[in-house]
Amino acid sequence: MKAVILLSGGLDSSTILYKAKTDGCECHAISFDYQQRHRRELQSALLVGEKAGVIKHQVVNFDLRQWGGSALTDDAIDLPQERSLDEMSQNIPVTYVPARNTIFLSFALGYAEAIAAERVYIGVNALDYSGYPDCRPDYIQAMQEVFRLGTKQGREGQPISIVAPLINLKKTEIIQLGNQLGVPWELTWSCYAGGNIACGVCDSCRLRLAAFAELELKDPLHYA
């Protein structure tokens, strides 16, 4: 079975890559350089993909800075720092990139149909405190219909499936799954801040650190 894996190099996407491998898939990874603040994640995506033995790894380049609208694509918007988990759960944060997963899934769909893949794996998670609108089950269900209606494969009765195995898991459960699958956490990257050392205080770092701490495990990344 052939699959396209959306691979950012983060904890979640690295886990779904290894999950796709255990599902017996021939894995083709796709990553995105959209001039994000945290482009450092692409180094991790390439390292994790190589470690996992992906068949091919595509990196798609485009520039979302020209639109802005997010702390990840506009340096004029301050990155949230040192927020509690409760604070993170209040509202959709400024780190939300407008329509990002719709853009990513559109590229992944085109790639998947071009290589006659049967699945697209995405590491969205609805239980993270971020609450991004394009990480929720109803969104994935709607995009599955787009996959069916908007492709030759779909119209001919063989739609490409969106596989989102982490969507209802807590971050601690994702780490536990990754440990079972042998995900190399030391190669992954979660920080939004844009440096070469994880900041430890952005929302993404704090979610990651809190989950490792809850499991009484040490995160192998170094933090500033």
- State yes or no: pLDDT of 131 exceeds 90: no
Across the chain, what does the average pLDDT equal?
96
Residue 128 has pLDDT above 80, yes or no: no
Residue 88 is predicted with a pLDDT of: 80
Residue 67 has pLDDT above 90, yes or no: yes
The predicted pLDDT at position 90 comes to 80
Question: In this model, does residue 117 exceed pLDDT 90?
Answer: yes
Q: In CATH, what class is 2-214?
A: alpha beta
The DSSP 8-state label assigned to residue 80 in this structure reads P
Q: What is the pLDDT of residues 136-192, one digit of tens each?
A: 999 999 999 999 999 999 999 999 999 999 999 999 999 999 999 999 999 999 999
Pairing of the two strands 26-33 and 2-6: parallel
Are 55 and 21 in contact by the 8 Å Cβ rule? The answer is no
Cα–Cα distances (Å) from 130 to 68, 87, 111, 135, 154, in that order, read 19, 10, 28, 9, 32
30-55 pLDDT, tens digit per residue, is 999 999 999 999 999 999 999 999 99
Q: Which residue has the tokens 């690295």?
A: 14
pLDDT class of 129 with cuts at 50, 70, 90 = low
- Per domain, the residue ranges of the chain are 2-214
Instruction: Read off the pLDDT of each residue in 57-80 and give the average, rounded to a whole number.
Output: 96
Tell me: pLDDT of 6 over 70.
yes
What's the whole-number mean pLDDT along residues 187-216? 96
Considering Cα of 220, then 130, then 17, then 198, what sign does the dihedral take? Answer: negative
Report the percentage of the chain scoring pLDDT > 90.
92
pLDDT of residue 144: 98
Decide: pTM greater than 0.85. Answer: yes
